[in-house]
A and B are shown apart, each in its own frame.
Chain A
């Protein structure tokens, strides 16, 4: 089945640690996105990539990093520089950006302990 997979579903991070959230898609989509969702805040764009080996900062990129070495994969690293990382993280992919629908993973809930 084609789709987009995020892992893990739940992740706990200690203060000062970097953690990496996985996002893999087998839909052959060029564009991939990372969003952060806080209660009552909607979805805020962290990073996006419209082609392999290229990515751009979104609205809240500080404290995050990404890579896009393969078309299928767009991992997000939450670094220790992100002061308030506890949130729900959503990865999405699409053909040609918002000209078509975006497909979302099931999300990763990150909690700082």
Chain B
């Protein structure tokens, strides 16, 4: 069962623009994580935000979490062609067991 769902499914922007991806989930969580996947490769962890946090930054990444709306957003500022990848959010599995559960991802293309 997929707990988180990303939106949009695909995003195409020019280098230098900001990219915003959203994640919605259904049940309460302990934390939410964002991952990146380059084509044909494994996932790489980007950032983890706990349920008692509202915003977190890491370099050009900014993640927000709104537990009242059960949603999170990932903002990549000043995007680069090298940011082209798929981005996934992962939450705790519904029922409280600590198993990373992923959505379908957002495919981001950054044009040079």
Q: Interface size for chain B: under 10, 10 to 19, 20 to 34, or 35 or more residues?
A: 20 to 34
- In the complex, A17 Cα to B44 Cα: how many Å? 32
A33 within 8 A of B: yes
Q: Cβ of B31 and Cβ of A98 under 8 Å apart?
A: yes
**Shortest distance between the CB of B74 and any CB in chain A (Å):** 15
Question: For chain B residues 19-60, which have a beta carbon within 8 Å of chain A?
Answer: 30-31, 33, 35, 40-45, 48
CB <8 Å contact, B105 and A103: no
- B98 in contact with A96 (CB, 8 Å): yes
For the complex, give the distance between the alpha carbons of A21 and B30 in Å: 31
Known: A48-B99, A107-B41. A98 touches B88 (CB 8 A): no
Say which residue of A40, A88, A98 sits within 8 Å of B99 (CB atoms).
A98
The complex places the Cα of A6 from the Cα of B41 at a distance, in Å, of 11
List CB contacts (< 8 Å) of A14-70 with chain B: 31, 33, 35, 40-45, 48, 58-59
A90 to B44 CA separation, bound complex (whole angstroms): 12
- CB nearest neighbor in A for B3: A98
Q: How large is the interface on A (under 10, 10 to 19, 20 to 34, 35 or more residues)?
A: 20 to 34
Question: A59 touches which one: B1, B91, B100 (CB < 8 A)?
Answer: B1
- Inter-subunit contact B98/A109 (CB<8 Å): no
- Residues of B contacting A92 in the complex (Cβ-Cβ under 8 angstroms): 42-43, 100
B6 closest partner in A (C-beta): A42
Are the CB atoms of B2 and A42 closer together than 8 Å?
yes
Which residue from chain B places its CB closest to the CB of A35 in the assembled complex? Answer: B102
Residue among B35, B98, B105 having the largest count of chain A Cβ atoms under 10 Å: B98
Closest to A96 in B: B98
CB distance from A34 to the nearest CB of B (A): 12
Contacts of A102 in B (CB 8 A): 33, 35, 43, 45, 90, 100
